[in-house]
Amino acid sequence: MKIHLLVVGKTTAAYISDAIDEYCRRLKHYITFDIEVIPELKNAKNLSFDQQKEKEADMILKCLSPGDYIVLLDERGKEYSSLKFSEYIEHKMHTVPKRLVFIIGGPYGFSQRIYSTAQEKISLSKMTFSHQMIRMIFIEQLYRAMTILNNEPYHHE
């Protein structure tokens, strides 16, 4: 199984992209993981939030392949502890044959078409993070999960 993270808009702040690079470098030791960036809309100022979500949905759908198992990151999704999330990833390693695709929405979230396409929704907190911050937080949790599965002393509880 490969893990693919689809994000809307490139990471703009160096302090976020530096952290992402660091955790991606660490993750590669455990699993095939990559990030795909959907470019920002060029004329976003002239579009309503719903129009932006629909255009982003068109681009998200083009990035998906048959057989992908699709999980949205969404504050209204199911919550896990880090330990339970590691068990979740382990289960997916045994059951997802191709790509496990996590998707982070744009500044206004997802269109209904994307909610209908996904198999699951996961929340990292009931609080809302920016579409930029959440990618870094998620990748650190993925790394944490891999260290838990490998009995490494990164997570303590």
Does the footprint of ligand SAM cover residue 123 (CB under 6 A)?
yes
Return d(Cα 129, Cα 125) in angstroms, integer: 9
Q: Which two tokens stand for residue 16?
A: 């976020």
Which of 100, 131, 139, 140: binder of ligand SAM (CB under 6 A)? Answer: 131
Which window, 36-44, 56-64, 70-78, 143-151, contacts ligand SAM (CB under 6 A)?
70-78
Question: Is 115 one of the binding residues for ligand SAM (CB under 6 A)?
Answer: no
Cα dist. 109→8, 14, 127, 151 in Å?
10, 23, 14, 35
Q: CA-CA distance, 92 to 100, in Å (whole number)?
A: 8
Tell me how far, at minimum, the Cβ of 37 lies from ligand SAM, in Å.
14
- Annotation: binding site for S-adenosyl-L-methionine: 73, 105, 124-129
